Structure 1
Amino acid sequence: MIQEISNRLLKQLENDVEQVCSQIKDPLKRLTMVLKLIREALKKLRLHVSDLKFKNKTEEIPIFKNIKPSFYQWQIYYTELYNIETNLPYGDADKQASFLEQELLFIERFFRQYAFLYQYYRLNADELDNLYFVRGAEMQSILLPEVPDLDPEFSTSCDYLFSKFRAFEALKEWVLERLLLLKKRSIDPQTLSGNLHPGEMNWTGDTIDLAEIGLGFYYTGKLNNGTAGLGEIFRWLEETFHVNIGIPAKRFAELRKRKRLSRTRYLNEMRDSLNLKMENEDEYVPTGKKKNNSAISDED
């Protein structure tokens, strides 16, 4: 029950955050609205958890090991992202690259600082879950970070740290994507030219559909002879169509979770629509008259 509820809450939160990020360009205003959405979602999750009647302590583990961190990671991620965006040197690609490389070192240093617990997280180990993810469990360790605003009814020893692991992995991906983009732009300045893009186009469909297209580009290797990164493709689509698609790994995971719908629903729809158009054009008309739905002209 709590898993279903949390899945709905998380999906709604991520959709709302995505919409805010696509519509609001001012970093501070965007962060303020995003944090408000996350706090509201966490508050709802806390209320649902407080209503649960646990048969034993181990039933708490999935909530604080997986469910809560899947929400709280975004509070950490967007706060850190705001700090990077607002401190990024303006206009100078070399200075920007140097700044981002320092951020990458900071992230890697954080993972090394909590190396044992990070390995525990990466391996999805469970031997110490009764200490790490049960409320009230006694654990004194210099390995654990200070936890801000600890709520004993909605916190355990390691749920904050696992949230931060998730957030910093997503942040690392963002930094690496920007570094790759900067390096390619410094090698080929023509990529900065606005003349490379056609007239303004806005994406008016669901962003998950555009994610399908981006993933299709990446896994078929048809952009830049297969050297274009997935994050780079997503950012290119975002800039071209003026939307926020989101984190590639998260969107890929959404497609994998589809059960009722085809995992590639939109790509299938494109294929079927194009095939239907061609089949209609191929139909034989005995009277010699042209069909109402004329063929696509070269000028279209």
Structure 2
Amino acid sequence: MVQLIYRDALLSISQHEQRISLESTHVIDESYRMTIFLRDLLTRMKEHVLTKGFTSKHEEIEFFRTVKPQILGKLIYYNKLYRIETSCPVASGKMHHKYYSGELQHLKHEYREQICNSDFFRYYRSGRTDLDHEYFELGKINFNGGLNSYVFEIDHHFSTYYDYKVSRIIANGLIYSYLLSKVTHDDAEWQTNDKDFFWTDSKNALIELIYALYASESISGGKIGIRKMSIVFQVLFRIKLGDIHHAFHRMKERTGNRTSYLDHLKASLEKYMDKDIY
């Protein structure tokens, strides 16, 4: 039962992330909508657990070690992302870079002080399971360990306290990747040593290519969102694409050929293949 719930939850999250990523014009809107969705999903999951319970201790452990943290971790991540983006003072420049660099340093400090030095973090990262009955079963919280005060605020019918710890580990990993991409994007503005490597076609052509790779799930099995993919290509080719969502919607409304660049690529490759290169 837990495995089925887990697969359904992950599929639902993935589908919403892809749909909202396509529909949203800014990461603020995307993170807000995902926060609302994940909050409601977690509420439904809680109602299910409180009503149905678990069929075994193994199922209970699996839920609090794996299922719930995936939902709560993403919820913490998108909520933090919303706060980061709505607090950003400017859209570009040195202050923009300094802001994201400061957020990244703050996250690293929090990681060193509160997470990586804990016994539980080393236990979880090592893949151990021998103490799962202590960490991920309801009613097993050991207050003698000097736990964070958050333990007094949780619903003890829907949390073992350590499921929240796992959620924070997952969320911090996602936040770190996001902030690193922002800082790297700014650092590359655009300081690559290879000045001969750059995009020479139109911006719309590159956007069409990015969306084609996304739609075909050719990169990371389709698990990478449009926005993250666009950042990689912008850094790689030292080009700013602007609002790719609006550009894509304009492509959808083209009269005649909506995939002109992809058709051009196909024709160019076939022409090249037909050459007598020997």
TM-score range, shorter chain: 0.5 to 0.7
Pairwise CA distance, 1:109 = 2.1
Distance 2:102 2:90 in 1: 16
**1:174 and 2:178 equivalent?**
yes
Residues 2 and 48, structure 1, Cα contact 8 Å, conserved in 2 = no
SS at the partner of 1:146? helix
Aligned to 1:209: 217
Pairwise CA distance, 1:5 = 2.3
Distance 1:231 1:5 in 2: 32
Residues 31 and 82, structure 1, Cα contact 8 Å, conserved in 2 = yes
Distance 1:18 1:98 in 2: 30
Aligned to 1:127: 130
Aligned to 1:68: 68
- Partner AA of 1:168 in structure 2: N
Q: Number of matched residues?
A: 234
- Partner AA of 2:43 in structure 1: K
Q: Report the more deviating stretch, 88-97 or 9-18.
A: 88-97
Pairwise CA distance, 1:122 = 1.6
Pairwise CA distance, 1:54 = 2.9
Measured at CA, do residues 98 and 196 of structure 1 come closer, stay the same or move farther in structure 2, by a change above 3 Å? farther
**1:97 and 2:130 equivalent?**
no
SS at the partner of 2:130? coil
Residues 154 and 161, structure 2, Cα contact 8 Å, conserved in 1 = no
Measured at CA, do residues 89 and 187 of structure 1 come closer, stay the same or move farther in structure 2, by a change above 3 Å? farther
Aligned to 1:248: none
Give deviations 1:63-119, integer Å, cap 9, x for gaps. Answer: 101110011111100111112112223144322222222212222222221321322
- Partner AA of 1:127 in structure 2: D
**Structure 2 unmatched runs, 5+:** 246-261
Paired residues for 1:28-67 under 5 Å: 29-50=29-50, 51-55=52-56, 57-67=57-67
Give deviations 1:201-221, integer Å, cap 9, x for gaps. Answer: 553786461535899xxxxxx
Residues 111 and 118, structure 1, Cα contact 8 Å, conserved in 2 = no
SS at the partner of 2:84? helix
Pairwise CA distance, 1:42 = 1.6
Residues 61 and 129, structure 1, Cα contact 8 Å, conserved in 2 = yes
Give deviations 1:271-291, integer Å, cap 9, x for gaps. Answer: xxx8xx97xxx9xxxxxxxxx
Q: Report the more deviating stretch, 41-50 or 129-138.
A: 41-50
Residues 215 and 222, structure 2, Cα contact 8 Å, conserved in 1 = no
Aligned to 2:156: 152
Give deviations 1:169-203, integer Å, cap 9, x for gaps. Answer: 11101111111111111526x9xx99763436553
Aligned to 1:267: none
Paired residues for 1:246-265 under 5 Å: none
Measured at CA, do residues 58 and 8 of structure 1 come closer, stay the same or move farther in structure 2, by a change above 3 Å? closer
Aligned to 2:232: 233
Distance 1:15 1:151 in 2: 29
Residues 73 and 171, structure 2, Cα contact 8 Å, conserved in 1 = yes
Measured at CA, do residues 22 and 158 of structure 1 come closer, stay the same or move farther in structure 2, by a change above 3 Å? same
Pairwise CA distance, 1:132 = 1.6
**1:139 and 2:142 equivalent?**
yes
Distance 2:67 2:222 in 1: 28
Residues 214 and 234, structure 1, Cα contact 8 Å, conserved in 2 = no
Q: Structure 1 vs Structure 2: percent identity of aligned residues?
A: 22
TM-score with structure 2 length normalisation?
A: 0.68
- Partner AA of 1:87 in structure 2: S
Distance 1:236 1:15 in 2: 27
Measured at CA, do residues 64 and 131 of structure 1 come closer, stay the same or move farther in structure 2, by a change above 3 Å? same
Pairwise CA distance, 1:4 = 1.8
Paired residues for 1:259-274 under 5 Å: none
Residues 6 and 45, structure 1, Cα contact 8 Å, conserved in 2 = no
Structure with more contact order per residue of length (Cα contacts < 8 Å, sep ≥ 6): 2
When the two chains are superposed, the root-mean-square deviation of aligned CA atoms in Å is 4.0
Distance 2:125 2:230 in 1: 22
Pairwise CA distance, 1:59 = 3.5
